Amino acid sequence: MLGDHLSEAIAFGNLGAVAVDRGEYDRAEKLQRRALELHRELGNAPNIAYALVNLGNISCVLGDYALANDLLGEAIPILRETGYKLGEGVALLHLADVAFGQGDMSRAASTLLESVQLLAAAGDKFSIAGNIDLLAQVCAAGNDHETAIELMGAAAALRDRLGAAPSTIKRTELDALEKTLRQAVSRTVYERHWLIGKTLDFDTVVRRISIVARQIVGPQHPVPMLPEPEAPATEYNLTNREIEVLRLLTEGRSTREISETMFISPRTATTHINNIFGKLEVNSRIAAVAWAMRAGVT
């Protein structure tokens, strides 16, 4: 109705979202700016934060990283104060995208990890697919092509299960990334690692994000570890953590290297290895790796 400024603000925001889906970013920016102006006039903190996040995302897409940082930097404290974890997780995902655009891979990875922790707790699998995409881009930028391919496969499988599709600009980015990765490795290597990613269940994917992001961030910038799921990850009763240890064994990592990669003590790494031997009924690393190869856990 006339004079209903809240409805007007929401309408501008929704129109802006439609414009983003269509790839009309200049128009989307104008619409979201108007939405933000109206929400500021109304003084509703959560709605102001949502508008700031939307506008920050658009600014990032347009390459205005300084503005995107300012907008998202204003939104995140509001979201934290209101306790809206899902919104904070989405905002941090966009902030990680800003860091990636600025070439700061360590900050991108640490911010992304904080984002995925919040999104996983909120159950927002669609946004987590965005985290996976971005981490794949970070890995590719660091020439870790195999991990990037696995992550792309995992994101594609997750979207298939959700019946969702990436946005217009994300589809363009993913197509470009796929082209780069296919040029970097052989067809056989690409297809093998893509299949590995596609077969990962959701909990394992989240764990994989944690490990890969921590490797990029490095020990000088510690980040909180995701909680260990109690349920077994496979029919062989291996936990998600044991699956990751087994993957590292197939890469020929030593106990020390496994402990450093997973940010656990050597004693804990040894315990995981012994547990794997017991569950698989093998008595050596070679036998465990042979089992992993047969089972496709590589």
Q: Which domain holds residue 241?
A: 228-298
pLDDT confidence band for 143 (50 / 70 / 90) = very high
Average pLDDT over residues 171-194: 93
Average pLDDT over residues 268-286: 80
Tell me the per-residue pLDDT of 242-259, one tens digit each, with 9 for 90 and over.
888 888 888 878 888 887
- pLDDT on residue 229: 38
Tell me how many domains the chain contains: 1
225, pLDDT greater than 60? no
Where on the phi/psi map is residue 163: left (φ > 0), alpha (ψ -120 to 50), or beta?
Answer: left
Q: 221 versus 101: which is more confidently predicted? A: 101
For residue 259, tell me if it sits in a domain: yes
Q: In CATH, what number is assigned to the domain containing residue 268? A: 1.10.10.10
217, pLDDT greater than 60? yes
Place of tokens 């496979």: 234
Q: Which pTM was predicted? A: 0.71
Average pLDDT over residues 164-175: 85
For residue 275, tell me if it sits in a domain: yes
Tell me the per-residue pLDDT of 79-115, one tens digit each, with 9 for 90 and over.
998 888 999 999 999 999 999 999 999 999 999 999 9
For residue 239, tell me if it sits in a domain: yes
State the DSSP string of 71-107.
HHHHHHHHHHHHT-HHHHHHHHHHHHHHHHHTT-HHH
For residue 143, tell me if it sits in a domain: no
State the DSSP string of 32-59.
HHHHHHHHHHHT-HHHHHHHHHHHHHHH
For residue 297, tell me if it sits in a domain: yes
pLDDT confidence band for 219 (50 / 70 / 90) = low
For residue 289, tell me if it sits in a domain: yes
pLDDT confidence band for 154 (50 / 70 / 90) = very high
pLDDT confidence band for 236 (50 / 70 / 90) = low
For residue 189, tell me if it sits in a domain: no
For residue 181, tell me if it sits in a domain: no
